[in-house]
A and B are shown apart, each in its own frame.
Chain A
Amino acid sequence: SQTIHQWPATLVQPVGSPLSLECTVEGTSNPNLYWYRQAAGRGLQLLFYSVGIGQISSEVPQNLSASRPQDRQFILSSKKLLLSDSGFYLCAWSVQGRGYGYTFGSGTRLTVV
């Protein structure tokens, strides 16, 4: 069966420090991968999506970047965190095909102090 792993669960980082959040998927090949941010427990903001290795699309210009070094690995990074980067970050994957929904990871709570 397919599973998605996201870590860490919580993270407290000082302003100006780097960030690396990792997401991996097991049990499937060539998934679509997504990074979302959720502020204050409400709406989802799509940050990045990827349809293949090295293929990254950015939805919102910001202080963050994403990479997909392997088929089932998706990394969210920042060189210097801002206070406004605080939030709940969610990784998700889907099969390539419109009749399929997303499967989400458990999320990372990032607090920038």
Chain B
Amino acid sequence: AQSVAQPEDQVNVAEGNPLTVKCTYSVSGNPYLFWYVQYPNRGLQFLLKYITGDNLVKGSYGFEAEFNKSQTSFHLKKPSALVSDSALYFCAVRDSYSGAGSYQLTFGKGTKLSVIP
């Protein structure tokens, strides 16, 4: 079975400060990890993914995420937050193990990011 946890319902950060949105996962095999962003009344937009290779993944809008296998984490980061980054962020995982339902992504419950001017 695969699962993902986003321990923070909300993250507040001042504009210009670095931001981190946390995500931890559980899988049987190797993880495929994704981050999505959702603006109000819009669909989810893909930010970045980790499949294999370099543990630091760079994505859209200046976001990056660090894969840490020992801590089973995939935290989303940005060096300098913008007010326009305020949105709902979802982490998702897919297990490489070939089991029933393994083609499905499992999403976290979402973290609301508020960047304060």
Contacts and interface: CB of A to CB of B under 8 A. Distances in A.
Interface of A: 6, 32, 41-44, 46, 49, 51, 88, 90, 92, 94, 96-99, 101-107, 109
Contacts of A103: 46
Interface residues of B, number: 26
Given A88-B41, A107-B41, A109-B41, A101 B104 contact: no
Contacts, number: 56
A107 B32 contact: no
B94 interface: yes
5 contacts: A32-B103, A92-B44, A99-B32, A102-B105, A107-B42
Interface string B29-44: 0001010100011111
Interface of B: 32, 34, 36, 40-46, 49, 51, 88, 90, 92, 94-96, 102-105, 107-110
Contacts of A97: 103
A101 B103 contact: no
A90 B109 contact: no
Contacts of B95: 98
A99 B51 contact: yes
For the complex of A and B, 3 pairs with smallest distance between CB atoms: A104-B43, A43-B109, A104-B44
A53 B103 CA distance: 17
A98 B102 contact: yes
A90 B44 contact: yes
Given A41-B40, A102-B92, 8 more contacts: A32-B103, A41-B88, A96-B103, A98-B95, A98-B96, A98-B102, A98-B103, A99-B51
